[in-house]
Amino acid sequence: MEIEIDSDSGFCFGVTTAINKAEEELLKEEPLYCLGDIVHNSMEVNRLSKKGLKTIDHNQFFQLRNEKVLLRAHGEPPSTYEIAKENGIEIIDATCPVVLNLQKNIKKAYLSSNTEDTQIVIYGKIGHAEVNGLVGQTEGHAIVIESLDDLNKIDFTKKIKLFSQTTKSIGNFDQIVEKIKENITDCKNFEFNDTICRQVANRIPKIINFVSKHELVFFVSGKKSSNGKVLLDECSKINSNIHLISDLEELDFSLLEGVNTVGICGATSTPKWLMEELKSKIERYLQNKKA
Protein backbone atom coordinates (compact mmCIF):
# COMPACT_ATOMS: atom_id res chain seq x y z
CA MET A 1 0.00 0.00 0.00
CA GLU A 2 1.27 3.47 -0.91
CA ILE A 3 0.82 6.11 1.81
CA GLU A 4 1.63 9.68 0.83
CA ILE A 5 1.67 12.87 2.92
CA ASP A 6 0.76 16.01 1.00
CA SER A 7 3.95 18.13 0.95
CA ASP A 8 1.86 21.33 0.63
CA SER A 9 -0.25 20.68 3.76
CA GLY A 10 0.72 21.88 7.20
CA PHE A 11 1.34 25.17 8.98
CA CYS A 12 1.20 28.42 7.03
CA PHE A 13 3.88 31.04 7.75
CA GLY A 14 1.56 32.90 10.17
CA VAL A 15 1.11 29.85 12.40
CA THR A 16 4.77 28.80 12.07
CA THR A 17 5.90 32.25 13.20
CA ALA A 18 3.52 32.24 16.20
CA ILE A 19 4.70 28.80 17.32
CA ASN A 20 8.37 29.72 16.86
CA LYS A 21 7.81 32.84 18.98
CA ALA A 22 6.15 30.78 21.70
CA GLU A 23 8.99 28.23 21.71
CA GLU A 24 11.64 30.99 21.83
CA GLU A 25 9.91 32.60 24.82
CA LEU A 26 9.47 29.26 26.59
CA LEU A 27 13.25 28.73 26.46
CA LYS A 28 13.56 31.68 28.88
CA GLU A 29 11.77 29.53 31.47
CA GLU A 30 9.47 32.35 32.57
CA PRO A 31 5.68 31.92 32.79
CA LEU A 32 4.08 32.42 29.38
CA TYR A 33 0.36 32.63 28.74
CA CYS A 34 -1.37 32.39 25.36
CA LEU A 35 -4.69 34.13 24.85
CA GLY A 36 -6.79 31.36 23.26
CA ASP A 37 -5.49 28.18 21.62
CA ILE A 38 -2.29 29.06 19.76
CA VAL A 39 -3.58 27.03 16.82
CA HIS A 40 -6.87 25.20 16.18
CA ASN A 41 -5.25 21.86 16.80
CA SER A 42 -5.54 20.29 20.24
CA MET A 43 -2.57 17.94 19.71
CA GLU A 44 -0.25 20.89 19.02
CA VAL A 45 -1.75 22.84 21.92
CA ASN A 46 -1.01 19.85 24.19
CA ARG A 47 2.57 19.60 22.91
CA LEU A 48 3.25 23.25 23.77
CA SER A 49 1.41 23.00 27.06
CA LYS A 50 3.87 20.25 28.10
CA LYS A 51 6.65 22.77 27.40
CA GLY A 52 4.97 25.29 29.73
CA LEU A 53 2.60 27.36 27.57
CA LYS A 54 -0.53 28.16 29.56
CA THR A 55 -3.64 28.75 27.45
CA ILE A 56 -6.14 31.21 28.94
CA ASP A 57 -9.45 32.67 27.83
CA HIS A 58 -10.41 36.35 27.88
CA ASN A 59 -11.96 36.14 31.38
CA GLN A 60 -8.70 34.77 32.78
CA PHE A 61 -6.77 37.43 30.83
CA PHE A 62 -8.76 40.21 32.60
CA GLN A 63 -7.61 38.84 35.98
CA LEU A 64 -3.88 38.66 35.11
CA ARG A 65 -1.41 41.25 36.39
CA ASN A 66 2.25 41.75 35.43
CA GLU A 67 2.58 38.61 33.32
CA LYS A 68 3.68 37.83 29.78
CA VAL A 69 0.95 36.98 27.26
CA LEU A 70 1.36 35.81 23.68
CA LEU A 71 -1.24 36.92 21.13
CA ARG A 72 -1.71 34.26 18.46
CA ALA A 73 -1.81 34.68 14.66
CA HIS A 74 -5.57 35.50 14.63
CA GLY A 75 -4.96 38.90 16.25
CA GLU A 76 -6.92 40.79 18.88
CA PRO A 77 -9.09 43.93 19.06
CA PRO A 78 -7.57 47.20 20.39
CA SER A 79 -9.30 46.64 23.77
CA THR A 80 -6.95 43.70 24.49
CA TYR A 81 -3.89 45.95 24.12
CA GLU A 82 -5.50 48.61 26.35
CA ILE A 83 -6.23 46.08 29.12
CA ALA A 84 -2.69 44.73 28.87
CA LYS A 85 -1.30 48.25 29.33
CA GLU A 86 -3.51 48.91 32.37
CA ASN A 87 -2.58 45.61 34.02
CA GLY A 88 1.17 45.58 33.40
CA ILE A 89 0.92 42.72 30.91
CA GLU A 90 3.83 42.29 28.52
CA ILE A 91 2.45 41.39 25.09
CA ILE A 92 4.34 39.03 22.79
CA ASP A 93 2.53 39.86 19.60
CA ALA A 94 2.39 36.97 17.14
CA THR A 95 -0.47 38.40 15.08
CA CYS A 96 0.05 37.28 11.48
CA PRO A 97 1.20 40.19 9.25
CA VAL A 98 -1.64 39.38 6.82
CA VAL A 99 -4.20 39.82 9.62
CA LEU A 100 -2.45 42.96 10.91
CA ASN A 101 -2.68 44.50 7.46
CA LEU A 102 -6.38 43.65 7.23
CA GLN A 103 -6.99 45.18 10.67
CA LYS A 104 -5.26 48.39 9.51
CA ASN A 105 -7.32 48.55 6.30
CA ILE A 106 -10.61 48.04 8.14
CA LYS A 107 -9.66 50.70 10.67
CA LYS A 108 -8.78 53.11 7.87
CA ALA A 109 -12.08 52.39 6.08
CA TYR A 110 -13.99 52.92 9.32
CA LEU A 111 -12.23 56.15 10.29
CA SER A 112 -12.67 57.62 6.81
CA SER A 113 -16.44 56.91 6.74
CA ASN A 114 -19.49 58.30 8.36
CA THR A 115 -21.25 55.55 10.37
CA GLU A 116 -24.61 57.14 9.52
CA ASP A 117 -24.33 56.41 5.80
CA THR A 118 -21.61 53.72 5.50
CA GLN A 119 -21.63 50.12 6.65
CA ILE A 120 -18.42 48.16 7.16
CA VAL A 121 -19.35 44.56 6.39
CA ILE A 122 -17.14 41.57 7.20
CA TYR A 123 -17.74 38.17 5.65
CA GLY A 124 -16.67 35.79 8.40
CA LYS A 125 -17.67 33.62 11.32
CA ILE A 126 -19.41 35.43 14.17
CA GLY A 127 -17.39 35.03 17.36
CA HIS A 128 -14.24 33.75 15.60
CA ALA A 129 -11.15 35.30 17.22
CA GLU A 130 -9.91 36.89 13.99
CA VAL A 131 -13.36 38.36 13.29
CA ASN A 132 -13.59 39.76 16.84
CA GLY A 133 -10.25 41.46 16.23
CA LEU A 134 -11.53 42.92 12.94
CA VAL A 135 -14.82 44.14 14.41
CA GLY A 136 -12.81 45.78 17.19
CA GLN A 137 -11.18 48.06 14.59
CA THR A 138 -14.62 49.62 14.01
CA GLU A 139 -15.51 50.09 17.70
CA GLY A 140 -18.00 47.24 17.27
CA HIS A 141 -19.89 48.87 14.38
CA ALA A 142 -19.03 46.34 11.64
CA ILE A 143 -21.77 44.00 10.45
CA VAL A 144 -20.65 40.36 10.26
CA ILE A 145 -22.27 38.13 7.67
CA GLU A 146 -21.69 34.40 7.67
CA SER A 147 -23.52 33.56 4.44
CA LEU A 148 -25.95 34.84 1.81
CA ASP A 149 -28.74 34.29 4.38
CA ASP A 150 -27.31 37.13 6.49
CA LEU A 151 -27.54 39.75 3.74
CA ASN A 152 -30.80 40.96 5.29
CA LYS A 153 -28.62 42.57 8.00
CA ILE A 154 -27.45 45.12 5.40
CA ASP A 155 -29.24 48.31 4.39
CA PHE A 156 -28.83 48.40 0.59
CA THR A 157 -29.74 52.09 0.37
CA LYS A 158 -26.51 52.97 2.23
CA LYS A 159 -22.81 52.68 1.29
CA ILE A 160 -21.14 49.30 1.83
CA LYS A 161 -17.45 48.52 2.34
CA LEU A 162 -17.00 44.74 2.29
CA PHE A 163 -14.01 42.78 3.67
CA SER A 164 -13.45 39.08 4.33
CA GLN A 165 -11.99 37.02 7.16
CA THR A 166 -8.67 35.72 5.79
CA THR A 167 -9.61 32.03 5.78
CA LYS A 168 -12.93 32.16 3.93
CA SER A 169 -13.62 30.60 0.53
CA ILE A 170 -13.11 32.88 -2.49
CA GLY A 171 -16.07 31.26 -4.29
CA ASN A 172 -18.47 32.15 -1.46
CA PHE A 173 -17.03 35.66 -1.19
CA ASP A 174 -17.63 36.19 -4.93
CA GLN A 175 -21.25 35.04 -4.53
CA ILE A 176 -21.76 37.58 -1.74
CA VAL A 177 -20.26 40.34 -3.91
CA GLU A 178 -22.63 39.46 -6.77
CA LYS A 179 -25.70 39.42 -4.50
CA ILE A 180 -24.81 42.81 -3.02
CA LYS A 181 -24.33 44.23 -6.54
CA GLU A 182 -27.81 42.95 -7.47
CA ASN A 183 -29.44 44.54 -4.44
CA ILE A 184 -27.63 47.79 -3.79
CA THR A 185 -29.49 50.92 -4.87
CA ASP A 186 -26.39 52.54 -6.38
CA CYS A 187 -23.37 50.40 -7.43
CA LYS A 188 -21.06 53.40 -6.87
CA ASN A 189 -21.75 52.97 -3.17
CA PHE A 190 -20.25 49.48 -3.05
CA GLU A 191 -16.56 48.85 -2.41
CA PHE A 192 -15.37 45.27 -1.94
CA ASN A 193 -11.97 44.03 -0.81
CA ASP A 194 -10.96 40.43 -1.36
CA THR A 195 -8.87 39.99 1.78
CA ILE A 196 -8.70 36.19 1.69
CA CYS A 197 -5.22 34.92 2.53
CA ARG A 198 -3.49 33.32 -0.45
CA GLN A 199 -1.76 30.86 1.88
CA VAL A 200 -5.23 29.30 2.08
CA ALA A 201 -6.65 30.02 -1.38
CA ASN A 202 -3.54 28.88 -3.27
CA ARG A 203 -3.63 25.54 -1.51
CA ILE A 204 -7.01 24.60 -2.94
CA PRO A 205 -5.88 23.56 -6.48
CA LYS A 206 -2.86 21.71 -5.05
CA ILE A 207 -4.85 19.81 -2.43
CA ILE A 208 -7.57 18.95 -4.96
CA ASN A 209 -4.91 17.46 -7.21
CA PHE A 210 -3.51 15.52 -4.24
CA VAL A 211 -6.83 14.00 -3.10
CA SER A 212 -7.78 13.06 -6.67
CA LYS A 213 -4.70 10.76 -6.80
CA HIS A 214 -5.70 8.63 -3.80
CA GLU A 215 -8.39 6.02 -3.20
CA LEU A 216 -8.66 6.90 0.48
CA VAL A 217 -7.79 10.23 2.12
CA PHE A 218 -7.36 11.23 5.76
CA PHE A 219 -7.77 14.96 6.31
CA VAL A 220 -6.04 15.84 9.57
CA SER A 221 -7.42 18.98 11.20
CA GLY A 222 -8.87 20.39 14.39
CA LYS A 223 -12.68 20.57 14.32
CA LYS A 224 -12.58 24.34 15.09
CA SER A 225 -10.28 25.20 12.16
CA SER A 226 -12.03 27.54 9.75
CA ASN A 227 -9.40 26.95 7.08
CA GLY A 228 -9.70 23.18 7.68
CA LYS A 229 -13.42 23.40 6.94
CA VAL A 230 -12.88 25.29 3.67
CA LEU A 231 -10.22 22.84 2.45
CA LEU A 232 -12.16 19.75 3.54
CA ASP A 233 -15.30 20.99 1.73
CA GLU A 234 -13.29 21.49 -1.46
CA CYS A 235 -11.60 18.06 -1.17
CA SER A 236 -14.93 16.31 -0.52
CA LYS A 237 -16.21 17.55 -3.88
CA ILE A 238 -13.41 15.57 -5.60
CA ASN A 239 -13.05 12.46 -3.43
CA SER A 240 -15.96 11.07 -1.44
CA ASN A 241 -13.71 8.63 0.44
CA ILE A 242 -12.22 11.34 2.66
CA HIS A 243 -12.26 11.20 6.47
CA LEU A 244 -11.58 13.92 9.02
CA ILE A 245 -9.10 12.97 11.74
CA SER A 246 -8.77 15.43 14.62
CA ASP A 247 -7.23 12.87 16.99
CA LEU A 248 -5.24 9.77 16.02
CA GLU A 249 -7.60 7.69 18.18
CA GLU A 250 -10.30 8.35 15.57
CA LEU A 251 -8.48 6.28 12.93
CA ASP A 252 -10.76 3.47 11.74
CA PHE A 253 -8.48 0.69 10.42
CA SER A 254 -11.36 -1.01 8.61
CA LEU A 255 -11.27 1.84 6.05
CA LEU A 256 -7.91 0.50 4.81
CA GLU A 257 -9.40 -2.78 3.59
CA GLY A 258 -8.97 -3.27 -0.16
CA VAL A 259 -7.32 0.11 -0.65
CA ASN A 260 -4.05 0.58 -2.60
CA THR A 261 -3.30 4.28 -2.12
CA VAL A 262 -3.80 6.45 0.95
CA GLY A 263 -3.32 10.20 1.05
CA ILE A 264 -2.79 12.24 4.22
CA CYS A 265 -3.33 15.99 4.08
CA GLY A 266 -4.49 18.80 6.34
CA ALA A 267 -5.07 22.47 7.05
CA THR A 268 -2.80 25.46 7.66
CA SER A 269 -3.18 24.65 11.37
CA THR A 270 -2.16 20.99 11.05
CA PRO A 271 1.33 20.13 12.33
CA LYS A 272 3.48 18.03 9.99
CA TRP A 273 4.46 15.76 12.89
CA LEU A 274 0.80 14.80 13.38
CA MET A 275 0.42 13.74 9.74
CA GLU A 276 3.67 11.76 10.08
CA GLU A 277 2.39 10.05 13.24
CA LEU A 278 -0.77 9.06 11.42
CA LYS A 279 1.31 7.57 8.60
CA SER A 280 3.44 5.60 11.11
CA LYS A 281 0.32 4.35 12.88
CA ILE A 282 -1.07 3.00 9.60
CA GLU A 283 2.29 1.42 8.71
CA ARG A 284 2.53 -0.29 12.13
CA TYR A 285 -0.98 -1.67 11.72
CA LEU A 286 -0.19 -3.04 8.25
CA GLN A 287 3.06 -4.65 9.46
CA ASN A 288 1.30 -6.31 12.42
CA LYS A 289 -1.39 -7.57 10.09
CA LYS A 290 1.22 -9.14 7.80
CA ALA A 291 3.09 -10.79 10.69
Nearer to ligand SF4 by Cβ, of 32 and 98: the residue is 98
Got the DSSP string for 18-86? Answer: HHHHHHHHHTTTS-EEEES-SSS-HHHHHHHHHTTEEEE-HHHHHH--S-EEEE-TT---HHHHHHHHH
Q: Which of 244, 222, 224, 249 is nearest to 233 (CA)?
A: 244
**Largest separation between any pair of C-alpha atoms in the chain:** 73
SS3 180: helix
Nearer to ligand SF4 by Cβ, of 162 and 216: the residue is 162
Phi, psi for residue 233 in degrees, rounded to 5: -60, -45
Which residue in the shown chain puts its C-beta closest to ligand SF4?
14
Gap between the Cα atoms of 109 and 119, Å rounded = 10
Nearer to ligand SF4 by Cβ, of 98 and 180: the residue is 98
Gap between the Cα atoms of 226 and 209, Å rounded = 21
Nearer to ligand SF4 by Cβ, of 118 and 199: the residue is 199
Nearer to ligand SF4 by Cβ, of 13 and 33: the residue is 13
State the residues that interact with ligand SF4 by CB under 6 A.
12-15, 73, 96, 98-99, 166-167, 197, 199-200, 227, 268
Q: How far is the CB of 154 from ligand SF4 (least distance, A)?
A: 25
Q: How far is the CB of 208 from ligand SF4 (least distance, A)?
A: 18
Return the active site residues.
Answer: 130
Q: How far is the CB of 16 from ligand SF4 (least distance, A)?
A: 9
Whether the Cβ atoms of residue 36 and residue 55 lie closer than 8 Å to each other: yes
- Sheet holding 261-266: strands in order across? 2-5, 261-266, 216-220, 242-245
Residues whose CB is less than 8 angstroms from the CB of residue 72 and which lie 6 or more positions away in sequence, other chains included: 18, 34, 35, 36, 37, 38, 39, 94, 95, 129
CB atoms within 10 A of CB 46: 11
